[in-house]
Each structure stands twice: as C-alpha cells, then as structure tokens.
Chain A
Amino acid sequence: MQFLTLVAVLLLMSAAVYRMGRGRAQVLAGTEARSLHSLPSYYGYYVALWCGIPALLLIVGWLSLEPFILRSLVVDALPTEAKALSPARLSLLMNEVRQLAASGDFRFSSGPVASAAAEQYRGLRATSFGAMTVLALSLAVGGAVYGMRAISPKLRARNRVESAVKVFLVASSTLAIFTTIGIVLSLLFESLLFFQKVPLTDFLFGLNWSPQTAMRADQVGASGSFGAVPLFAGTLLISVIAMFVAVPIGLLSAIYMAEYAHPKFRSIAKPLLEVLAGIPTVVYGFFAVLAVAPFLRSIGQSVGISIASESAMATGIVMGVMIIPFISSLSDDVICAVPDSLRHGAYGLGATRSETIKQVVIPAALPGIIGGILLAVSRAIGETMIVVMAAGLSAHLTANPFASVTTVTVQIVTLLVGDQEFDSPKTLSAFALGLVLFVVTLALNVVALHVVRKYREKYD
C-alpha cells in the first residue's frame, strides 16, 4: 500500500511539473512562438521525465537489492548456533522469518530465534522503506529543479524527449529478449543437471521410457529408465497424421479461396475458417475424446481392427483439424501474393485455369506454402492440450496409428503434475524433454521464417 502511494505521489509530481515546465516555456516564448526550439509541451515532458525517471529507477534498483542486503544483515545478527545450520536449513529459517515479518503475527513462530530475527527484519525493512522514500522524493524534486533550470529557448527539448522515448522502447524490447534468454538458460541449466544423472546418449537413443524412480532408498524396483525415443516417435506419429489431415485440406481450401471463390464468398468463408484457429485447444481435446475416438473405435470393431481408445489416429486427426486454418490462411496469403501478371502470362499462352494454378501459381507460391507448413508442424509438435486429453500416457514404440502412443508434451505434463522432488531425475527429465522440444521447434521456425522471407523478397 505504502509503496503504491509513493509511486502515485511520484506520478502526480511529474504531472504537476509537466504543467510548470510547459507554462515556463510559454512565458519564455512570449508572443513569439517561433523563438522556442520546440513546442511548449515538449519542455513540459522534458521536465516531467527528469522528475519521474531517476526516482523510479532508484526505486526499482532499491527494491531489487533490498532482499539480499536485509538477509545478510539478519543472518549476521543470528545467534551462532543458528548460523552453523546447513545452507538448506538456513534458507528454510529465513523463509519463515520473512513470512513472520510480513504477517506481523508471531504466534506460530517456531522459536525465539525466528521471532527475534523477524522482529529485526521488520525494523530493518521499515527503515529501508523510509530511506528509499526520502531519497526518491528528493531525487524527484532535484530532477524537477534541474529540468526547470535547463529550460531555455535554445534547449532542444523535442529531440531530448525523442531520445528518451527511444531508450524506453529499447528497454522494453531488451526486457522481452532477456526474459526469453532467461527461460532458455533455466531450461538448459536444469537439463544439464539431468544429464549428469542420465547420460545424453541414453536419453536420446534409449528405447525404453519409464521415469518412475524410487522415492526412498529402501524401495525396490523402479530404477527409472529415460530413453526418449518412444516419445519422439509418438510425437512424430501424431504430427505426421495431423499433417496428412491438415496439409491437403488446408491447401485445397486455400486454393479454392484464393483462385475460385467469389470475393463475397471469400470474405465470409475466410474469417469462418479462421475461427477454427480461435477455438481453445481444450475444446478440441473434448472433441477428440468424446467424438472422434469412440467413432474410430466403432468403425474399427465393424471392420475387425482393434483400435485403442486413445489411438494416435484420433489424436492426429483432431490436431490436424486444429491446424487446418494455419495452413489455409498462410497459403491463401502467399497464393494471393503471386502477382496476377504470372497468371495472365499463363492464360495468354492458352492455359486453362486449373493448369495455370497447377503449373504456375502453386510452383510460384511453393516456398511460402512450405514455410507455412513448417510453422504448422512446429505447432503440432508443441501442441499439448489435445494430446494430454486424447493420447495415451504409456510409452510404446510403435508405428501403428491405431495403437496408443504418448508424446513429449504429454510426458512433460505428467512428470510435473503433482508433488515433485526437484532434484530427482524424474522431474529433471521434463526439462530435458522441454529443451529438445524447444530446439526442434526453434529450428523449424527459423527455417520456415527464412523460407517465407526469401519468398517475400522475390515478389515485393
């Protein structure tokens, strides 16, 4: 609460200072508006930025350092026997201290040591907050004064504001990039831990996946085996089935839409098809489990094939339906981007419409279409919800589309659902699987985007 108030005060100050800066610039300009370098409002922004930004930066820096400093102060002040605790226990104790300090209710304290530390922690935090408030406010005032004094007709306020905007934008995009890098690094780090316990070759080439490890040392059996090939194979099988459904239907509907359909029909049908892309994947999951799988089973019974109720076929078909709009929409775009001059060239030589499409338009659009398909494949490989609901859980190495298989994403989910021990190979294997998934889809996306971009260049 206090913190929010502080930020609100800073924002109000900036707003007030904006008016002051603008007013001062107007006074300076007098009647001769051209004598100022920039519009008066830019001077206002300039001063407001000086008032707000340094103070906010201070707050951000302070808050990110505070926990570490407070922790070391409190740990220093602990009695010696508490200091001698193992690092894990010490961090448990500190967790408790922080919680006690936050709630302010010491009734559930585990002992006097914790209570005393919590008391100290509270005190330190209050001091710290006070100091931060004072510093931030004085920085804001100082910045505002500096900004106001800098105002003169020669000051290039507009350019300064422009560079501030640029810095802000750069900072935002850097943040996004660093978040991605952070995610990848944590994935990598946990995977390395996993590969210390299970050799990389066992993981990549092993044919047996049963991640149940013994929870207690005295438990028998279940030593765990982490050969991920059955998962890769299952993912591949389902993706291939999905592509067999999605590529022909998506491509043909794109061709119809782009080349044959009346513009009026197209303007209705295209958005309708794209609605398919907006359906939550959970709903596709229902559809797979409740409609497609039983339907396939009953067909299988009538022709005498045994089809598992969690067959790769049912899952793949539904996933394919989910991917249709991707392929059709991307292909439609690239087909429309094929210049009419090529079509006219073919017609002018006496080609019929379908000949023109088959021999000129599609070959011209092919790189773009392939790029779209690759993007769709990476969607299929990463798709989770449908397979969690409709595909199996146990890993079989099979190429039979009517058998039940499991996928990389399903295993990640099952490995991480429920209570976990964060250093067991079972849990860590999820990160290794995630890393593989990431690398594969990244590669697919890079190739696809490259292909699509090359194609764009050719016709722009």
Chain B
Amino acid sequence: MTTASESQSRPGDQGINVAKVTANDVNVYYGDKHALKGVNLAIQANEVTALIGPSGCGKSTFLRCINRMNDLIEGARVTGTITLDRQNIYDRDLDVVQLRARVGMVFQKPNPFPKSIYDNVAYGPRLHGLAHSAADLEEVVITSLERAGLYAEVKDRLDEPGTGLSGGQQQRLCIARAIAVSPEVILMDEPCSALDPIATAKVEELIDELRENFTIVIVTHSMQQAARVSQRTAFFHLGELIEVGNTEQIFTNPQHKLTQGYITGRFG
C-alpha cells in the first residue's frame, strides 16, 4: 500500500469531505483466495472514476464490494470498511436492498429482463414505490430513457420485449433501468465490452452526461476509454491498488513502473 500513498493524490485522506465513497483497507477473500488486498480508495461525487488493470486483478471484485453484490457469491468474505456518505455499508443494520437502490449497477453483458422495454425501466421504480401514479411512472420511464439516449429509438415500441433490441440498445436500456431508480452512484463493469464502436461512443457520451447527476465508477479494459470518459483513474494489479490519480496525470506521467508498463502496453 505504500506505493499507492506515494502517488500524488493520496487516496483515503484527501478531500474526505467531498468523497462520495471511501474504501478503507478493504480485503476480499474467495474461500482461501485473497483477491483484494488492503485497498484504500476515495471516489469523488460527480466524477467518473475508471478502474483499470490486467485481467484477474480484482477490478470487478472491488466494484461488487460497493453495492455488496459479493454477498451473493458463495464463500466470498469482505473485511475493512466502505462508506457511502460516511455511513459504513458493511454495518450490521444496513439494509442491503436499500443500499442497492442507492448504488446502481450496469453489467458487462446487457441483461434486460424478458419483459417489455417499458416494464424493464419501470421495474426499479415499481419495486421501491418511487412513482405514485401511472402518469408519474410513465414520466420516470420516459425521462430515464431520454437520459440514456434511447428514447428516440424506442418510443414507438415501448411494449415490445427489451430482449429484442440490439446489443448497444440493450446496454443503454440497462443504463436507463439503473438510473430510473435515481441512484447516487452507478457502477459499470466493462459496459462496452460487448458493443461495437458506434454503440460504444454513444454509451461513452452518455456516461459523460450522467456525471452531472451521478457518481460513476467504471471498469474498463480500454485505455482510450478510460482516458476519454474518466476524471480519475485507479490502477489495480494482483489484487492491490497500485496507483490512483487524475486521469490525465496517470496517463501522461504515471508514478509507478507497473502502471507505466500497463498503460504503454508492455504487459497485461
């Protein structure tokens, strides 16, 4: 962990007042496997934070810690604390279900429910009783679709199944579904890995717009994508957080030689 604190912007201690999410000494074990080792990281509100690093280094694992999706994995164990607005989300009396309404997630593979486009987006609001009338609900659905940049393409077929959309449209539907719950933080695990360049560009544009209202954490394998969409970048290696800083600084002037090697493509 010494290396991480050596870097210019110190995670964990800098700007604790504005940090939306802070991870303090987070360790994750899958059975005997120590997958995440003492990670300290502060995620700022209304910023896009990119997590990069070679395959298997623990990016998804860290992401899943933030909305406790690791609870669903048999044998996974998390130690340390993660706070969301200074409240420890691993507290005993925290309601996981409510946490997940505040921290939304978009997955690597688009996973629309086998329901209509409308019902897909309406699912979360209905679940949490966010809309008080049918008109309310419709408004939430439409604004979410609009913000996800999908409304124009699907407005005439809201009652058709979401699974019938193209891959890129499905992913934007999943983003609309996630923002319909008005979460505070949105986690995205390689949201563009199944998409073509055009759909990717659309999603990236969308992420940039969403930053205004949400805090976004995105895992990506594409250096260019991280450089394009994120303000801060965190580099993981073998379960450790090696370096974190402003995206520009990480890509132009990395402090650690592992980071340097990774972004110049010498390994990983």
Bound complex: CA A339 to CA B163 (Å): 13
A349 to B130, CA, bound (A): 13
Find chain B residues with CB under 8 A from A339 CB.
111
Kindly supply a per-residue 1/0 record for chain A positions 308-347, scoring 1 wherever the CB is within 8 Å of any chain B CB and 0 otherwise. 0000000000000000000000000000000101101111
Complex alpha-carbon distance, A378 and B97, angstroms = 42
Interface string of B106-138 (1 = CB under 8 A from A): 010101111100000001100110000000000
Query: Which interface class (under 10, 10 to 19, 20 to 34, 35 or more) fits B?
Result: 20 to 34
A359 proximity list for chain B (CB < 8 A): 123, 127
- Nearest to A345 among chain B residues (CB) is B111
Interface flag for A350 (CB, 8 Å):
yes
A346 touches B113 (CB 8 A): yes
> Is B104 an interface residue when CB atoms closer than 8 A count as contact?
yes
**Considering the chains assembled together, what is the distance between the CA atoms of A410 and B96 in angstroms?**
57
- Shortest distance between the CB of A385 and any CB in chain B (Å): 40
CB distance from B263 to the nearest CB of A (A): 30
Chain A CB count within 10 A is highest, among B112, B127, B128, for B127
Report which of B98, B105, B115 forms a contact with A348, defined as CB distance below 8 A: B105
- A351 CB–B CB distance under 8 Å: yes
Contacts of A346 in B (CB 8 A): 113, 123
Residue of B nearest to A455 (CB): B114
List the A side residues contacting B163 at CB < 8 Å.
458
Q: Within 8 Å CB of A351, what residues of B? A: 97, 127
Inter-chain contact A355/B114, CB cutoff 8 Å: no
Residues from chain A with Cβ under 8 Å of B202 in the complex: none
Write the A344-375 contact mask toward B (1 if CB under 8 angstroms, else 0): 11111111100100011001100000000000
Asked whether A363 lies within 8 Å of B114 as measured between CB atoms, the reply is yes
Complex contact A341–B109 (CB within 8 A): yes
Q: A341-B107, A344-B107 are in contact. Are A350 and B113 (CB under 8 A)?
A: no
Q: How far is the CA of A351 from the CA of B128 in the complex (A)?
A: 9
Partner of B113, one of A347, A352, A360, A458: A360
Cβ contact within 8 Å between B111 and A347: no
Which of B100, B109, B112, B114 contacts A349, CB < 8 Å? B100
Closest CB in chain B relative to A348 CB, distance in Å: 4
- A339 CA to B109 CA, complexed, in Å: 11
Q: Which residues of A contact B97 (CB under 8 A)?
A: 350-352
Please determine whether B115 and A363 come into contact, CB atoms closer than 8 angstroms: yes
Q: Contacts of B99 on A, CB cut-off 8 Å?
A: 350
Cβ of B181 < 8 Å from any Cβ of A?
yes
Q: How far is the CB of A433 from chain B (nearest CB, A)?
A: 41
Q: How far is the CA of A280 from the CA of B54 in the complex (A)?
A: 58
> Assuming the A-B contacts A342-B113, A363-B115, are A348 and B123 also in contact, with contact meaning beta carbons closer than 8 angstroms in the complex?
no
A359 to B115, CA, bound (A): 10
The smallest beta-carbon distance between B185 and chain A, in angstroms, is 12
Q: Contact: B128 with A350, CB < 8 Å?
A: yes
**Bound Cα distance from A339 to B110, whole angstroms:** 12
Known contacts: A350-B127, A350-B181, A363-B115. The answer to whether A345 contacts B107 by CB under 8 A is: yes
**Is B69 among interface residues, defined by CB-CB distance under 8 A?**
yes
Number of interface residues of A (CB under 8 A): 18
In angstroms, Cα B161 to Cα A458, docked, is: 12
* B72 CB-CB contact with A under 8 Å: yes
Shortest C-beta distance, A454 to chain B (Å), equals 12
A341 nearest CB neighbor, chain B only: B111
Instruction: Bits for B75-111, please: 1 = Cβ < 8 Å to A, else 0.
Output: 0000000000000000000000111110011010101
CB <8 Å contact, A349 and B111: no
Q: Does B192 interact with chain A (Cβ within 8 Å)?
A: no
Known contacts A344-B107, A344-B111, A363-B114; A349 and B123 CB within 8 A of each other:
yes
Q: How far is the CA of A345 from the CA of B97 in the complex (A)?
A: 13
- Encode B28-56 as 1/0 by CB contact (under 8 A) with A: 00000000000000000000000000000
In the complex, which residue of chain A has the Cβ closest to the Cβ of B109? A341
* Pairwise interchain contact B111-A350, C-beta atoms closer than 8 A: no
Q: Judge whether B127 and A345 touch: CB under 8 Å.
A: no
- Contacting residues, chain A, for B104 (C-beta < 8 A): 348-349
Interchain nearest-CB distance for B109 vs A (Å): 6
CB pair B127–A342 under 8 Å, yes or no, is no
Most buried by B among A342, A347, A349, A351: A349
What CA separation (Å) do A211 and B176 show in the bound complex?
67
Minimum CB–CB distance from B11 to chain A (whole Å) comes to 25
Minimum C-beta distance from A88 to chain B (A): 64
Q: Are B100 and A350 in contact (CB under 8 A)?
A: yes
How far apart sit A360 and B163, CA to CA, in the bound complex (Å)? 13
Q: How far is the CB of B77 from chain A (nearest CB, A)?
A: 18
Q: Does B67 belong to the interface (CB within 8 Å)?
A: yes
> Does chain A have a CB within 8 A of B178?
yes
In the complex, whether B237 has a CB less than 8 A from a CB of chain A is no
Given A342-B113, A355-B127, CB of A347 within 8 Å of CB of B69: yes
Q: How many angstroms from the CA of A341 to the CA of B114 in the assembled complex?
A: 12
Say yes or no: is B177 at the interface (Cβ < 8 Å to chain A).
Answer: yes
A residues near B98, Cβ cutoff 8 Å: 350
Please judge, given known A-B contacts A347-B72, A350-B124, A458-B163, whether A342 and B177 are in contact too, CB under 8 Å: no
Known: A363-B115, A458-B163. A349 touches B174 (CB 8 A): no
Residues of A within 8 A of B (CB): 339, 341-342, 344-352, 355, 359-360, 363-364, 458
A342-B113, A350-B101, A458-B163 known, 5 other contacts, Cβ within 8 Å = A344-B111, A346-B123, A348-B104, A349-B181, A359-B123
* 3 closest cross-chain pairs (CB), A and B: A350-B101, A348-B105, A341-B111
A sample of 9 cross-chain residue pairs with beta-carbon separation below 8 angstroms, ordered by A number, consists of A341-B109, A342-B113, A344-B105, A345-B107, A348-B69, A350-B98, A351-B127, A355-B127, A458-B114
